[in-house]
Amino acid sequence: MAAVVAGLARLLQPAMMFPRGESGCQGPAPWYLLLGLRLVALFIADGPWSSASPDLVCNWTLVEADIRPFCSALCFNRRFLAPVSSVWGFAFLAALLPVGLMGFIRAGSQHQGKAVRGADEELTDIAGVSHSMAAGSSMATGTIHPLPNRATARTNMVPSEPKMSSHCTWPSMAFSFCVFLLLSMELVFFWVVVSLQIPLVSETTFLCFPGADTCPKAVECALAGQADKQMALWVLAFTAFVNMAACLAYLLLTLGKLSQCHRR
């Protein structure tokens, strides 16, 4: 797990850098930064939880030494019915999907903006050439005619379109949908960690019922490193809370700007 986390960190390091010439809050860079926070949390949580199965200690005073590993494995499987560390990895991979879509949407929006600016510059050059030719013709004939400036010529050449705020376009709406999708995933992950995983390590001891004829009917067990395992889970829950807060803040700001767009 630690090797996988280190590899993903090196993979995402260029993406987490804020791009030049762009406002960081308008691009996917902050979301990659939040994924980097999750990577650090996964690296911290991997230490205490990498030895969860050997850390299970039970009271085998009346059980033969040969069958203790078998009964211990049964107790571990009954205690941890749902996966623990695998859920963390799946949640991280799921969060990569909307964040990656944010990058594609922002890149497409920037490409479209560059194309529009290039067309505007071309129209401006054409209007300037027309302005110069008309001025030369007026000087040759000795007559002076009022000439429209470049802004007027550009306005006459391009049909008027209603101005729309950048927050009302479809790329911004798609970006907001990705943020909402990320919020939903983080909410589910937060619920799994707090409601399902943390209670597993909250009890000091618990009764295990192996359910095998060779094992005792009930045995008292404990999980070593309980405090470290609890802290690792709370760190993951904290990262999910930070991601949810960032998503909610972005969505609330976007809703406020959309309301301003509809009022115009």
| Residue 86: CATH number of its domain | 1.20.1440.80
The answer to whether position 228 is within a domain reads: yes
Q: Is residue 73 part of a domain?
A: yes
Cα 9 vs. chain centroid, distance in angstroms?
14
d(CA 120, CA 117): 5
pLDDT value of position 64: 85
With respect to residue 126, please indicate whether it lies within any of the assigned structural domains: no
Classify residue 136: in a domain, yes or no: no
Q: What pLDDT score does 61 carry? A: 85
Digits of tens for pLDDT over the chain (264 positions)?
555 555 655 555 555 554 444 444 556 778 888 888 898 899 888 888 887 788 889 988 878 888 888 999 999 999 988 888 889 999 999 999 998 888 888 775 654 554 445 555 555 555 555 555 555 555 555 554 554 454 444 444 444 444 444 556 777 788 889 999 999 999 999 999 999 999 999 988 999 998 888 888 899 999 998 999 999 999 999 999 999 999 999 999 888 877 776 665
User: Does 141 map to a domain?
Assistant: no
The pLDDT of residue 147? 47
pLDDT for 234 equals 95
Residue type, 45: A
**CA distances, 61 to each of 126, 193, 215, 224 (Å):** 93, 34, 12, 18
Residue 41 counted as domain residue: yes
3-class DSSP string for the chain: CHHHHHHHHHHHCCCCCCCCCCCHHHCCHHHHHHHHHHHHHHHHHHHHHCCCCCCEEECCCCCCHHHHHHHHHHHHHHHCCCCCHHHHHHHHHHHHHHHHHHHHHHHHHHHHHHHHHHHHHHHHHHHHHHHHHHHHHHHHHCCCCCCCCHHHHHHHHCCCCCCCCHHHCHHHHHHHHHHHHHHHHHHHHHHHHHHHHHHHHCCCCEEECCCCCCCCCCEEEEECCHHHHHHHHHHHHHHHHHHHHHHHHHHHHHHHHHHHHHHC
Who contacts 242 (Cβ-Cβ below 8 Å, separation ≥6)? 34, 37
Residue span of the structural domain in which 94 resides? 2-14+30-121+167-263
Which pLDDT does position 257 carry in this prediction?
79
**Is 157 within a domain?**
no
Q: Residues 143, 149, 154, 159: is their CA dihedral positive or negative?
A: negative
Domain count, the chain: 1
Residue 106 lies in a domain: yes
pLDDT of residue 197: 93
